[in-house]
Amino acid sequence: MKKQARADYARFLIALLLATPGSSQFEFSYDREMEAKEGKVDVLRVLGPDDFAMYLVFDQKTHRPWMINYRQPAPRNQRNQATIASEAEEPKTPAMMDVQLFFGDHKQVNNIWLPHHIVKAANGQMTEDWKIGKYKLNPNIKPNRFEKKK
Confidence (pLDDT) at 83: 47
Amino acid (one-letter) located at 86: S
pLDDT at 7: 86
Number of domains in the chain: 1
User: What is the C-alpha separation between 147 and 141, in angstroms, rounded?
Assistant: 12
**Over the stretch 28-48, which tens digit does the pLDDT of each residue have?**
999 999 998 888 999 999 998
- The C-alpha angle with vertex 52 and arms to 72 and 116, in degrees rounded to 5, equals 70
> Does residue 16 surpass a pLDDT of 50?
yes
Structural domain of 127: 2-146
pLDDT of 87 reads 52
Residue pLDDT, tens place only, 77-104:
655 444 444 555 555 777 889 999 999 9
Rounded distance, CA 38 to CA 78, Å?
39
Q: Cite the DSSP H helix spans in 18-134.
A: 81-87
Beta strand extents in 24-74 (DSSP E only): 27-36, 39-48, 52-59, 65-73
Radius of gyration of the chain from its Cα atoms, rounded to whole angstroms = 19
Query: Which band of pLDDT confidence, cut at 50, 70 and 90, is reported for residue 51?
Result: confident
When pLDDT is cut at 50, 70 and 90, the band that residue 148 belongs to is: confident
Listed in sequence order, the residues at least 6 apart from 113 whose beta carbon sits closer than 8 Å to its beta carbon are 64, 106, 107
* pTM metric for this prediction: 0.76
CA dihedral 49, 118, 33, 51 (to 10 degrees): 10
pLDDT at residue 77 in the model: 67
